[in-house]
Amino acid sequence: MDIGIMYTTLLEIKDWVSGDQATGRLVSIPNGSILSNTVNNYTKDHNFIWDEIQLPISYSSDWQFAYDKILELVNNETKEIVEHANKDISKLEEKYYLDKRSAEPAIYLSATDNWISFTIRYPTMVRNRRFLRHKITRLILDELARNKIKISSSTVDIVGFPNLKIDKGNDV
């Protein structure tokens, strides 16, 4: 980061690179724009953010077992982060008069036409989001495979086909 008299130069994050990692491009921002535009600061009063992983689980799978296993796994991986985040949240509640909240991981379920959508929500340190998401995703995939829990996708199943009569005709 370079803060000059007229411009601030930063390393770009996002655009075509996901996971809050740098693209390699530099972005120059006119210093006057911070007075008239919104500025997002991920680390002003705390060092964590929430992240989410979407997971479509098949209706034919034991979704309750999957729910319990995934929540246990995410709780184990985020235990230390949750402790720090809960302390930060207490400070935020005092400073900004927020309602009492917890940083405990959660899974929100939603029924769709094709699967049960799991939205897995957990706290992560701001600068480690991509790495923690990768680790949790790998652990979840391993656990689901070990227990034969199916991940769904948009597919079409043909469950029947009408009998076809082929007329060969008498053409010689």
pLDDT at 25: 77
**Contact (CB, 8 A) for 30 and 7:** yes
pLDDT at 41: 78
pLDDT at 15: 64
Amino acid making up residue 131: F
User: pTM of the predicted model, to two decimals?
Assistant: 0.76
Domain annotation for the chain: domains and CATH numbers: 1-31 (no CATH), 46-153 (3.30.70.100)
pLDDT at 90: 87
pLDDT at 135: 98
pLDDT at 171: 65
Q: What is the DSSP letter of 103?
A: -
Kindly compute the dihedral angle of the four CA atoms of residues 20, 13, 44, 33, in this order, to the nearest 10 degrees: -150
**Contact (CB, 8 A) for 124 and 87:** no
pLDDT at 117: 98
Name the stretches of the chain with pLDDT < 50. Answer: none
